[in-house]
Every structure is written in C-alpha cells, then in structure tokens.
Structure 1
Amino acid sequence: MEANPYAAPGAVVEDRYAFDANDLEARKASRWQRLGAAFLDGIVIALCMMPVFFQSFATYNARVHGTVPPAFALSGYMFFCLFLGLAVIVVNCILLSRNGQTIGKKLLGIKIVRTDGSQATLGRIFLTRYLPIRLFGFIPFVGPIIALVDVLMIFGDEKRCMHDRIADTIVIND
C-alpha cells in the first residue's frame, strides 16, 4: 500500500502532567498551612481597612465631644483604602494567574493546582472555586450553613474543601 502524502501525521503524543497522582498526594498542603494562608490573606485585607477604622473612630470621638471632623479627611481615607484594596486584588490576581497563589499562600509556600497536577487557570479559580461559594453565602439561612460545610470538609480524608471539589483543584506545597 502506498502512503498518502496528504494524510495527517501519525505521531503519538502522550499527555504530560506536572506531577503524578502519588506525588500530588504526598505534596498536599496541611490543614494548618491552608488555615494559615487564609488567616494571612485576612490580615492583608484588614490592614487595608485600618485607615477607615481609625478615621471612623476619630469621627465618632469628635462627635461625642461636640466637634465635627472635616469631611475631606474621611473621603481621603476611603479613597486610600479603596486604592489599597484594589492593589491587593491586582497582586492576588497576578499571583493566582502565574502560580495559583494568593499573598498568604505565597508566604506559606503552597499553591492551587488541578487534581491532575496541571496549573489552575485564573478563570477556573474565580468562576468555579470562589464564585459559587460566595453566591451561596448570600442566601439567607442556607448561606452560612454552606459556608460552614465548605470549611469543615477540609477534615475529610482528601483534605479538600467543597470549593476544591467544585473546581476540581487541590492545594499542594510549592
């Protein structure tokens, strides 16, 4: 038989993954690392909000003593906090898109990957990992229960929260 010169190439290409299944299981981040990363991310956001807290306290204190603080100071603090918050969001988006890490995860040396070891995309992280749980959180009565179940699922054998299962991701040591 003659070979068809117009036929598609017949090369066999294997799918390559960043890690094999046994390696991923051994590299899973501990529950304490994940808790610490969430705690550090919360501290970063809280630090962004500190100027508003101090200005609110100063405003309350001034009103208690019968004086009125200048309005421009409060709006300046609000814009400063908005700028800081946007900066944290941008930094987290850059870290998440490059390596699947937030600021807290970067500091603790852990990252988000797909269950096959490949890199999780920014879209997957936001649209399937964060968004569903946040949307369920807005439902009265049901939202807090779903948020609690999400967090408590970390104590299962797989060390995966509900948002990990929804997004088909795991958190591993970097």
Structure 2
Amino acid sequence: MDTREALGSWIDGPKAAAEKMGADFGYRGERLGLPKEGPGSMAGPGRRIGALFVDGWLVSLVAYGLLGKGTASSANLWTTPLFFGVTALLLATSGTTVGKRLFGLRVVRQDGRRATIPQVLLRTLLLCLLVPPLVWDRDTRGLHDKAVGTVEVRI
C-alpha cells in the first residue's frame, strides 16, 4: 500500500485516513458512555458555537446598554468580565445559559451530574481565553471541557 494512500489526503482528515485502514472511531461521545442520539448525547460543534455566539451577543448588548452611553470602549472593556460572570452564574445554578437553552444544550459532568462551582468557574475562565475551546479531541470536546471533566450534552 502506498504511504500516501495509507495516510489519506489532508482534505479528508485523520478520521477518513483511519477508516481507510479499517479503524473505527465510533460515534461522538461513545468513549464517554453517552448515547448516540437524543437527550444526553454529545452536542455537535455547530450547536455549541451557535450558543456561544448568542451568549456573547446578549452580553455585548447588556454591556453597551449599561456602559456604552458615553464611549463604546468602556463597554468593550467590560464585555469579557460580564460574559465570565453571567456564564459562570447561569452554569452554576441551572447548568445552561440563554444561548445553550435556545440550542437545547446543558453542561454536565462526565457522569451526568451537575457540574460543581469550581468546575464551572475554571471552565468559564478557560472559555474566555479562547484557545482551549478551539482545540478539540476526536469527540469534538474542547480542552476547556476536558480540563475540568465536563461535557456539553443535548437536553
């Protein structure tokens, strides 16, 4: 077998290359013991990114409404801390944010129970740093979730 054929094309990605060689990755969340579909299954990246944009947009509106009367720069300074506070508060109390609720998502521990306050605080801090959510594993689970032992599931 040609090495190029074994590795696959860079366009196909590592999953396609592994499938050509007979490896089976299974479905997203299988390694975590989550169901394949329905409530409790792992949320896809599209829903998670959509929920993040909704939350960011709502927090920006609040920041501009409260602080943006004089200059927009003061509202920009407060957007990230406000995002941290609102997200941490909502995740600690209900396990979901406004955006996550609209997209039918919830943040839980790997065993399915509610995330603890330290987990929520560290997860939200890492989310605000932007790098950990951009690095995913093969289940499309971000480093911010892996670091604290949480997973974003469908409601």
TM-aligned CA distance change 1:107 to 1:169, over 3 Å: same
Contact 1:151 1:162 in 2 (8 A): yes
- Aligned equivalent of 1:56: 71
Relative contact order higher in (CA < 8 Å, ≥ 6 apart): 1
TM-aligned CA distance change 1:98 to 1:54, over 3 Å: closer
Larger Rg computed on CA atoms:
1
1:151 equivalent in alignment to 2:133: yes
| 2-structure distance, mates of 1:116, 1:169 | 9
Say which SS state the counterpart of residue 152 (structure 2) adopts: strand
Runs of 5+ unmatched residues, structure 2: 1-31
Say which SS state the counterpart of residue 157 (structure 1) adopts: coil
Tell me how many residue pairs correspond in the alignment. Answer: 115
Can you list the C-alpha shifts for 1:73-112, whole angstroms capped at 9, x where unaligned?
A: xxxx98xx99xx59x946861x322331122112211011
For 1:16-165, list aligned pairs within 5 A: 21-23=33-35, 25-26=36-37, 27-51=41-65, 52-56=67-71, 85=82, 89=85, 93=89, 95-127=90-122, 129-132=123-126, 137=129, 147-148=130-131, 150-154=132-136, 156-165=137-146
| 1-structure distance, mates of 2:92, 2:71 | 35
Which structure is higher in helix share? 1
Q: Could you tell me the TM-score, scaled by structure 2's length?
A: 0.59
How high is the sequence identity, in percent, across the aligned residues?
A: 27
- Give the alignment's Cα RMSD to 1 decimal: 3.2
